[in-house]
Amino acid sequence: MSETAVVILAAGAGTRMRSKTAKVLHRVGGRTMLEHTIRAACDLAPGHVVVVVGHQREEVIPVVEQIGEQLGQDLVIAVQDEQLGTGHAAACGLSGLPDGFDGDVLLTAADVPLLNSDVLRELHNAHLATNETAVTILTFRPENPFGYGRITRDASGDVDAIVEQKDLQTGQHEINEVNSGVYAFDAAHLRSATANLNTDNAQGELYLTDVVAIARSEARHVHAVEINTLITAAKTAGAWADANVTGDMCVAGVNDRAQLSAVSRAYNDAIVASHMRAGVTIEDPATTWIEAGVTIGPDTLIYPNVQLRGTTAIGEACEIGPDTTLTNVTVGTAAVVIRTHGTDAELGAGSTIGPFAYLRPGTKLGVKGKIGTFVETKNATIGDNSKVPHLTYVGDATIGEHSNIGASSVFVNYDGITKHHTTVGSHVRTGSDTMFVAPVDVGDGAFSGAGTVIRRNVPPGALAVMAGQQRNIENWVMRYRPDSAAAKAAQAAQEKRAAESAPADE
């Protein structure tokens, strides 16, 4: 059998997005639409993957290169200098293939982000199953066909042509069988037909869809296969991934932000459902957003309003949320993370975080550690069983094991020019409102009194205190704030004390 190629169209302007960002670089579930499409293509392990770029290619090409590196795949980049239409883009794609390539070409578009490799494979199978077919079109029947090319059929029911929205004739608007923009082509036909396209249409573009009418005029066979037929075939073959979206969403095109939101929702629903099937309790799927690269152990409980992004990996039997966003955060078994915003952090097994914690990059919390309420951490390693319970900033610090940082403390890491490091040992107890003025070292088993500003190292076992004697100036309030509520309250309290201490018989 000859080789197969996948050609991905990603050169269009994406005008309807009204964005400074190239359309194919907008994200669905944390991945660019381009990456989704390239991954689907590469999963098939075809002989060639060609990405056609053009509009904003200075931004798109580096992304293609990066995805290729990340996936370890050779991707051919074909440049479409001017965006003359999908037919022209397909011809550019062919130019990225070896001369005389005569295998099958699976063609898809980077604005059909949820099309997966299972569907592509079944589309190719359907194409191979019908002999001498020039084109197999992947079709679907959306509730609202507006915007999609309509499939027209002749009297005997064979596909005649694809008519674009703007070129529809009276009576054709109601046709709800539409073109997904994904096809399997015989390469030779695609090559000759794209050379014969014209711009005689409402948009003045070279339409790829006209390849269908050209095939018919050459008495070649055109085949149309519906998405649901392919999904059934994939399921029968046991090759339907758990997190795949169903039916129409698989082939939904993204041309504007409303469609972007709809496919993002569908994609998320599929991911969330696959985690639930794998043993994760998700209290409110509608407000739980989980990206594709995230892993979650069984018996973990996710409360409402949780976003898990990037490479976040949650262990077994954790409790996450409510109201928590974790990006690239590793969470150990049975940890509890409540109302927390965290990025690039590692949280040990059995640790507790929040409510209201802000974990910045480089936070590492040990087993059974605690980062509590209104605590911000950055580039901080906090050892096993150590606790930072309340109202504290820990920046650029290493804290040993079994230590406790008193409420309202600050690791003063910045002198206005550079950042400095603080080291706190194990079994340390620091008083509330301790300032650790870095660089400074607090030895194992050391203590500090409340309100201490630690500027010098504290040796192991020492108590650091800097409190001077407290001085009370008697009756200051009555003298300097006469007639104030405070003065009246103080006066009353003094009289009450005097009465209570007076002998009972007087």
Q: Give the one entry of ligand UD1, Ca ion, none that residue 9 binds, where binding means its C-beta sits below a cut-off of 5 to 8 angstroms depending on kind.
A: ligand UD1
Listed in order, strand segments (DSSP E) in 317-437 are 319-320, 324-331, 336-337, 340-347, 352-353, 357-359, 363-365, 370-382, 387-399, 404-405, 410-412, 422-424, 429-430, 435-437
**Binds ligand UD1 by CB under 6 A, chosen from 11, 60, 405, 458:** 11
If the CB atoms of residues 23 and 341 are measured against ligand UD1, the closer one turns out to be 23
Closer residue to ligand UD1, CB minimum distance, 203 or 232: 203
> Among residues 40, 120, 208, 320, which is the contact residue for ligand UD1, using CB under 6 A?
208
Residue recorded with tokens 């960002």: 21
What's the rounded Cα separation, in Å, for the pair 240 and 233?
A: 9
Give the separation between CA 200 and CA 401, rounded to whole angstroms.
Answer: 75
Of 202-210, 325-333, 383-391, 398-406, which part binds ligand UD1 (CB under 6 A)? 202-210
Q: Binding to ligand UD1 (CB under 6 A): which residues in 140-159? A: 148-149
| Residue 376 touches Ca ion, criterion: CB under 5 A | no
Q: Does 112 bind ligand UD1 (CB under 6 A)?
A: yes
**Counting contacts by CB under 6 A, is residue 413 touching ligand UD1?**
no
Token duo for residue 173: 């608007």
Per-residue x/- marks for ligand UD1, 239-258, CB under 6 A? --------------x-x---
Residues 6+ apart with CB under 8 A from 161: 152, 209, 210, 212, 213, 216
How far is the C-alpha of 170 from the C-alpha of 150, rounded, in Å? 13
Fill in the amino acid letter for 234: A
Q: Binders of ligand UD1 among 277-296, rule CB under 6 A?
A: none
Residue with tokens 């039997």: 317
Tokens 């209290």 locate to 283
Looking at the Cβ atoms of 255 and 491, the one nearer to Ca ion is 255
What is the rounded CA–CA span in Å between residue 25 and residue 37? 11
Nearer to ligand UD1, 214 or 391 (CB): 214
Task: Report in angstroms the alpha-carbon separations of 234 from 40, 132, 343, 501.
Answer: 14, 23, 38, 91
Among residues 221, 390, 421, 427, the one annotated as catalytic is 390
Q: In the block, which residue shows the tokens 């919390």?
A: 365
- CB of 185 within 8 A of CB of 104? yes
Tracing tokens 């929040």 back to the chain, one arrives at: 354
**Least distance (Å) between residue 396 CB and ligand UD1:** 46
The answer to whether 321 touches 302, Cβ cutoff 8 Å, is: yes
Contact call for residue 111 and Ca ion (CB under 5 A)? yes
| 390 classed as catalytic | yes
DSSP state of 12: -
Residue 52: contacted member of Ca ion, ligand UD1, none (CB under 5 to 8 Å, by partner type): ligand UD1
* Closest distance to ligand UD1 from the beta carbon of 138 (Å): 10
- Alpha-carbon dihedral 400, 404, 409, 414, rounded to 10 degrees: 0
- Residue 113 binds ligand UD1, judged by CB under 6 A: no
52 binds ligand UD1 (CB under 6 A): yes
Q: Which does 395 bind (CB under 5 to 8 A by kind): ligand UD1, Ca ion, none?
A: none
475 vs 182: CA distance, rounded Å: 86
| 181 contributes a contact to ligand UD1 by CB under 6 A | yes
**Count, residues near ligand UD1 per rule CB under 6 A:** 30
Residue 354 lies near ligand UD1 (rule: CB under 6 A): no
Using the contact rule CB under 6 A, the part of the chain among 85-93, 240-248, 378-386, 489-497 near ligand UD1 is: 85-93
Closer to ligand UD1 by CB, 211 or 306: give it.
211
Told to check if 60 binds ligand UD1 by CB under 6 A, we report no
Minimum distance from CB of 98 to ligand UD1 (Å)? 21
Least distance from C-beta 111 to ligand UD1, angstroms? 4
- Closer residue to ligand UD1 (CB): 85 or 400: 85
Q: Which is nearer to ligand UD1, 28 or 208 (CB)?
A: 208
Stretch in the footprint of ligand UD1 (CB under 6 A) among 86-94, 353-361, 390-398, 433-441: 86-94
- Torsion angle in degrees (nearest 10) through CA of 324, 284, 308, 374: 0
CB of 263 to Ca ion, least distance (A): 12
Encoded tokens for 398: 């290493």
Residue 182 CA to residue 8 CA, distance in Å, equals 9
Torsion angle of C-alpha atoms 429, 435, 436, 442, degrees rounded to 10: -30
Least Å from the CB of residue 212 to ligand UD1: 10
Contact set with Ca ion (CB under 5 A): 111, 253, 255
Contact set with ligand UD1 (CB under 6 A): 9-12, 52, 54, 80, 83-86, 88-89, 109-112, 148-149, 162, 164, 178-181, 207-209, 253, 255
Known catalytic residues are 390
